[in-house]
Amino acid sequence: MRRRQGRPMKPDDDIRQEVRRWPGATVNFDRTGRHPRAVLHFNGRERFVTIPGTPGDTVHGPKNNIAIIRRTLNALGAIRVAVPFGRGRKRWRNPGVQQRVVVAGEPAPVMPDPWEPLQAVELFGDSEELPEGESQTATPCECLACLSDMAGIYPCLIEDEQ
């Protein structure tokens, strides 16, 4: 169903192009009454399909006509030749590791450990072990920072004032 540059294809051109893909099938066109009809022949059997005289005003018209022709040829027992998709060789967008050129140079410098300065800082004062049952945290005061769920994250307001 290719379209010629400048003007749309006639319905019979679309049908002839489709019938070429079905080995052993032939088509003849008769004009009877208002609409032409395509007479499809395969293995001594024939069927006719009424086709429109004009291509129509939408994209779906010619596609629907071809679908009817395909169903009819399939009912006659014809087998359509598989049409390969794409043309030419397949392009490889990523050549792969084997074809890449790796430039040898000096190795990248090793970055220092960003957590090393923090490991030297003692967070809770002396690192002596506490006896069981005792907590490292002091008793909370009555400020909003100590009474909230975020105690320990925000600094105590009373200690800041002192």
- What band does 149 get if pLDDT is binned at 50, 70 and 90? low
The answer to pTM > 0.85 is no
Query: Cα–Cα distance between 136 and 118 in angstroms, integer?
Result: 20
Q: What's the pLDDT tens digit per position in 113-123?
A: 888 877 776 66
C-alpha distance across the termini of the chain, in Å? 88
* Dihedral sign for Cα atoms in the order 150, 155, 159, 162: negative
Q: Which CATH class is domain 11-76?
A: alpha beta
**Tokens for 115?**
């957590």
Residue 4: the pLDDT is: 47
Instruction: Say how many C-beta atoms besides its own lie within 10 A of residue 157's C-beta.
Output: 13
